[in-house]
Structures are given as C-alpha cells and as structure tokens.
Structure 1
C-alpha cells in the first residue's frame, strides 16, 4: 500500500514508542501490499507450524500471514533435549514456559520442605528473585537442599523474575511469518517488553523440612490434548516431560522422584473440571495448566476450593493478574498487556488504513483484542478506523464449525486492509470465511 512520507514517519515514530524495548521495528520501509489486498495477522494461538493443517486443502491462505507470540530465542541444546522426549516436535511454543513451570514448582517444594500446596505456593515467587543465581535443575536443587535462597534463570525466565502476582515481570516476543505454509525462521524477529523493576522484592518465608522421608511431589497435567488448542499441546507436553526427566535425574525433590499424572483440559471447562476432580482424588499437589486463559478462569475457583496450585505455562489474559486465587495461581507466560504492544507494532509497520480485529469470545481473545485496540487508539486509530468482531468458540471438539460468514461480510464492507485473528485452531474458519466472501487476502494475490 502506498503511503506518503509523512504517514510513514508517523507510523515509525509510533513504533518506536509502543514497545519498552525493541529490535523488531527494523528498517524504515513498511512492507508494501498490492492495492486493495488485505493482510492477515495472528497471535500465539494460531502462529504455529501445525496451524495450516486446520485449513486442509486451503492451507496456502496463511502465506503472508504474520503475528506475535511470547517466545524467547531458544538454545539449540534445549531444542535437542526437547526432541529427546518427542522426536517429532515441529513447534516450540510454550515449551520453555512449561519446562520452567515444572522446575519452579519442584524448587519451591524443595525450599518449602513440604509438599503442602500452600507451603509450596509461598516459595514460588521467591524462587525467581534475589538469591544465588542458578540455571539448571541439578544446580538449583543442590542449592535448595542446602537451604540457600536461589534466583532461577532459564529458558523463559531470563531478564527478571516474577512479580508479586506470580507472573513474569518481563517478556520476550517473536514476530513470526508464514511462507509456503510454514513459519519462516529466517524472518523471525525478537523484541523485549516489560519492566525489571516490577519483579517482587519480598523475601519468602523459611522452609520447615521435617526429618525422615517425605511424600513425593505429585504434579498433574491440565494441558490441551484435545479441543481447539490441541495444536499447541505437543511442545507444552514435551517441555513438562523434559523437566520431570531432568529433575528426577538430579535426585528428585525431598528425596523422592517427582510423579507426573497426565491430564487433558480439552479446551473445555467441562473436561477441565473433570480432570481437576481426578487430580484432587489422586493427591496431586500442583496442576500444570490450563492451556487457555478462558479455561483457567473457569476452573480456578475449583482449584482454590481444593487447596491446590494452578500453574499455567500459556495463560496470557491480563485479567488473570488480579484473579481471586488465594495465592494459588501462577504463570510463566506474560500477560497480554505486554503482547498487545508488540502486536500493534507489527500491524502498524505495514501502514494500514483500516483494521479489523476478530477474537474468540473468552478471556484470552477479548482481553488481547482490547489490549491491541488500546494500543492502536494511542497511535491515532479511532473507532472509525478499527472494527471489533467476535465469535463463540465451540464447547467441545464435536461442536459445529464456526460460522463467520456475516463477520466476513462486515469486514469486506468496512474496507479493512488488515485483519487480526485472535484464536486457536478453530480460527481457521475465519480465514476460510474471508476467502469465501471474496475478501482479497494478500496470499491470494501471489
């Protein structure tokens, strides 16, 4: 799309201020699209190599789509260790966060000297702040067994630790691009966000380890093996499995191997509640999940009532920062108040005139939609230039496909030249509907 020099300068100035720390603004040339073409943008729920499969024989529609996801540059050594537990792994989204959620849970238990969930919870934030820095389960467990305060840094927790609310104070985001129905790693850019000063400075209480053998720490999975977010399950499962493997190889926790009990959240509150009930009956101390923010929001009261910890590697809804959790909810994924800035920057770099934001109707979708809208508004995109739409995700894998034909018609009439789609695997129906409505997607013009 042609832009005047003044318009391009204004957009680049906005790009420079949107992010707290950035390398993603790149050069001063916005990527040009042919006249009347519509660019597609995505988020962490659909910017995966497995996503084009959701479009079946129309997978080419994702070509040219770009978006953001919480992601730090992962060392090859870590990727190879993940492949040692899942040789077929093609995506790494939230693998590091799942790994760190399990390791932090183990370290907090060792420091607490107890598998009591309340005692573990009181140590979790402190594990990441103001102690002797350590970077591997073996190193950190050795320090914890000696009673030393530790400051855990690893693959997803790099610059700063947790805030008082139990979530990362800083984050890294990647800008991803689809080419030839797969993510083009050569185009991936990373950007930092957040504030290191937001990390907690509170000292955790001293642990109270009792002499003799302890019960083993039991972790229960609440990850999306099925449902709309199932495409993100393999990397999260691999991250958790790798952490269990390495913790137990380092001697376990409180003298016992950590036990993992698998479980599905189904991307469904009904399935997730059933799994939680089973975990409580089985004596699980820490539940790793849920995958989607909306599922965690729905089931958190059940977890709190049972006195267990809910520790998610992938929840990003900003609303969960202030959830009524009795100090039992934590996450290694950063809140969408940070991702909204990075995502708005990616869109603005291409110089759009009108932007449609389509979101699944849950805590994740609506929360990120609002965060991006607010950032675009700051950049001068008022209500006449931004259109918000939503859709109801199905309650189960057997639910009827999303019908977005009316939304596609509205986007075409609005004249949007940029469409952001916030959703999971089911959001492929939005792209199909846009193509069926003859919205001139950029991929179709190639």
Structure 2
C-alpha cells in the first residue's frame, strides 16, 4: 500500500530521534511500528556468492538483498568445464564474457594471419557479425584457418554481435536474490536487453591478407583483479580465461602454435594496473584481457594505445566508455550500463519503494550507473524528491583504512529511505554493516 508524502512527513517528524540517531522514538515496540524495513539492492560488484564473506560473522545481513548482473543462462556443460578449471568456483559472473573475449582474440589473430595487434583489432567486430555461424573453438578456428568469414556465437554472445564501438549490441541480465548467505538460483530471472539492429554491418577486412610482421605465438596478458576491492570477482574471470586458452590450444592453437597466457593483476588500482601493462608490453603481449573495473581500463588505456596493444575487457560496464577515444584498440564483451540501468530500475520499482537512496563509488562505474538508474527511475515516474544520491571515495589500496560510511548512513536515515541501492565492490559490505549498527532495520 502506497503512503502519501504528507503521511510520511508526519511519521518522519514524529520519529526525528530515530532518523538522527541510532535508536527509534518511543519504546522498542514503537520502533517496530514506525521503522519500515529497508530493502537492499546490489549490482554486479556485490551480487556474488563470495560477497557475504566480506561481512564475516554477520554474513546473514545480506539475506533478502536482490540485484542485477550481466548474465546469460549458462549451459550446465559450460559450468562443468569451468569447474574442471576451478573446482571451488561458487560464482559464474563474467566467466562467459572472459571466455568469449579470449576466444574472439584468438579468432581475430587467425583470420588476420598475424599477431600484429593492429591487424587483430581490425578483425574483432567483424568476427561477431555476418559470415558462417560457429559456436565452439574447434569449429570456429577451423573456419578461420580456411579464411572464411565467421559469425561467432557462444555463451555470452547469443543474439546480436558487436556494435561498431566494439561492444555487445544485446545483453542478458539476471535478477539475483540472496536467501540467507547464498544466492538462490531457483529465484534467478533473466531479462534480455538491447537491439540486434545496432550491431555493425560493416564487413571485416579481407581475411586473405597475410604475411604481416608478428607471427605466432599469440601472447595474451591478463589484467584481472587478483587483489583489491574487486578481488572477490576474480575466480570466475580467471576460470573463464583458463578454459578458453585450454580449448583453443586443444583445437590446434593459433597460426600453428599454442596461445601463450601471461598472468597479470590490475589490483583494482590504477598504479598496480599501469605497472602490469608495462610488464606485458615488455614481454611481447599482443592483447590484454581486462581490466576488471571500468575505471581501471579508463586509466590504463592511454598506456595500452601508446604500446600499440589491444585492451579487451570482459567486465567493464561504464556506459561512457562507448565514446572513449581508443584509436580502435578497446573492446568489451560486457554490455554497457545503459542497458543494465533499465533492468535494475525495474527490479527496484517492482517492490514499490517510497524513498530510494542510491549509494555509489566516486568513479566512472559507480557514478555512471547511479546516474543511469536515477534517469530510468525518473523516466518511470518516480519524483526526483524521492531519490537520494550519495557517493563515496573508494579505497585505493589494501593498506588504506576502510571507508567511513557514517555520514552516508546518516543521510540515508534522514531521507527516510526504505530502499538502498549499493553500487560498489567489496567495500560495500562496510556500508551494510554500518546500516545495521545504526539501527536501520533491514528487510529479510
């Protein structure tokens, strides 16, 4: 039942003590009447089975939290193949996107007839559009060796191919639900987004061009979040990359030689990531797979371009990266947040919240998605006065003190929010803990 703004204002006035401090007005019994449970919502950085571990012995605070992530229904066979790489895998978020980024890179080099990064980059968009459809490393590489134009479709690229900007034209999103300390797969819903008509229809360069400098082996370098705030997302990324390398080489490799993989950490930190890019350039890497976070890719892309390499991310979603001046060297298999924002707004609106707080990292990913969700909510008819936007400076290293969310929690309580969307990474656990410590009743 919706509550009028006047009625809510009266309630807030009567309970000013609750809103400005950690205890509700009146007795404990009154607290139960006046304090509406707050629903928590998350995004791809938190909707992971590994996220509750960040809360330690208070992991049950995520019970009832829901949110979205780019995810397509994954075949059980693909999950089993990933588990053969990492038997302890508990999440598959961005595993398929990483697998596809690696395989597309290999196919591009095979079709180009060279490992020259510029020639590889020219082939990437065309590999996903037009030509003969193929879905496995064996069949796609066989076609590429015969220099046939192909239309790659696989676990994350199932409908439309890439746009001219080098990113998916269509996407699948999953709505995930925490029951207790784990995501309940039985409640997962999938939603399609985007339009196949936005895929590029430009033909790829002549695949018969061969003999350029830069023959095999193709060397790929990882730029994945092995450490830092996004480290909890690394296992499925690493498993997806390792599985693709294994299957490419089992299918005969690229240009007659096995593909080489060199590990690398982005640290969820520009300084760490830049150092990794420099090492990859010195080691002869042709294509870098990463970075994990959009802001990290934005920070290192100039270094990648100067080194004459390709940057191919499986998990960047910042919508503004679409317009980045990348000299044709940046690609991603993750869809932009312009698509995810609509799905996320729909999930929130289904619950009919009266006041919504959106808490986001102060970076291109956090503020970008925050603005998109705000726009989608307002487009759906939500009064701007019912939205509270809060940002925070994310930690920049493992030795930095935890984020102090005290002022953010105070703003949430003062706004009377009954829904809180959290756009962040592992540090977001501290916000949930701070809400609970401040007496905010969380919906379970």
* TM-score, scaled to structure 2: 0.92
Cα distance in structure 2, aligned partners of 1:357 and 1:407:
10
SS at match of 2:407: helix
* Compared CA separation, residues 178 and 213, structure 1 to 2 (3 A): closer
Query: What is residue 422 of structure 1 aligned with on the other side?
Result: 423
Residues 214, 256 of structure 1: 8 Å contact kept:
no
Report the counterpart of residue 62 of structure 1 in structure 2: 62
**In 1, Cα distance between equivalents of 2:326 and 2:2:** 50
Q: Structure 2 regions of 5+ residues with no counterpart? A: 5-32
Alignment partner of 1:227 is 2:223: no
Whether the 8 Å CA contact 1:214–1:255 is kept in 2: the answer is no
Aligned 8 A contact 2:38 2:417 in 1: yes
**1:10-46 per-position Cα deviation (integer Å, ceiling 9, x unaligned):** xxxxxxxxxxxxxxxxxxxxxxx99611100000000
In structure 2, do the counterparts of structure 1 residues 213 and 166 end up closer, same or farther at CA, with 3 Å as the change threshold? closer
Within 5 Å, which residues of 2 pair with 1:164-313? 164-207=164-207, 208-210=209-211, 214-313=215-314
Tell me if the contact between 1:70 and 1:174 (Cα under 8 Å) persists in the aligned partners: yes
Displacement of 1:215: 2.4
Question: How far did 1:412 drift?
Answer: 0.5
SS at match of 2:421: strand
1:143-183 residue CA offsets vs partner (Å, 9 max, x unmatched): 01101000000000000100000000000000000011000
SS in 1 for 2:441: coil
Q: How does 1:325-364 map to 2 (within 5 A)?
A: 325-364=326-365
Whole-angstrom distance in 1 between the partners of 2:116 and 2:186: 46
Q: CA contact under 8 A between 2:116 and 2:213: conserved in structure 1?
A: no
Q: TM-score, normalised by structure 1?
A: 0.91
1:194-239 residue CA offsets vs partner (Å, 9 max, x unmatched): 0000000001111322299932000000000000000000000000
Q: 1:442 to 1:147 in 2, by over 3 A?
A: same
User: Which residue of the partner structure matches residue 317 of structure 2?
Assistant: 316
Tell me how far 1:313 sits from its aligned partner. Answer: 0.2
Distance 2:150 2:218 in 1: 20
Cα separation, 2, equivalents of 1:35 and 1:144: 62
Q: Which residue of 2 aligns with 1:118?
A: 118
The 1:246/1:338 distance shift into structure 2, 3 A limit, reads same
Offset at residue 276 of structure 1 (A)? 0.3
Partner of 1:17: none
Q: Distance in 2 between matches of 1:176 and 1:99?
A: 22
- Native 8 Å contact 2:216 2:254 kept in 1: no
* Per-residue Cα deviation, 1:243-299 (whole angstroms, up to 9, x for no partner): 000000000000010000000000000000000000000000000000000100111
Distance 1:377 1:135 in 2: 40
The equivalent of 2:391 in structure 1 is 390
- Counterpart for residue 109 of structure 1: 109
1:410 to partner: Cα distance: 0.8
| Structure 1 residues 348 and 213: CA distance shift in structure 2, 3 A | closer
Partner Cα distance (1:81, 1:178) in 2: 25
Q: Give me the whole-angstrom Cα distance separating, in 2, the residues matched to 1:73 and 1:371.
A: 25
Deviation digits for residues 349-392 of structure 1, max 9, x if unmatched?
Answer: 00011100000111110110011000011012232100000111
Greater mean deviation of Cα atoms: 183-192 or 429-438: 429-438
- CA distance change for structure 1 residues 417 and 430 in 2, over 3 Å: closer, same or farther? same
Structure 2 CA distance for aligned equivalents of residues 215 and 190 of structure 1: 40
CA contact (8 A) 1:44 1:69 kept: yes
Aligned residues: 415
In 1: Cα distance, 2:430 partner to 2:146 partner = 54
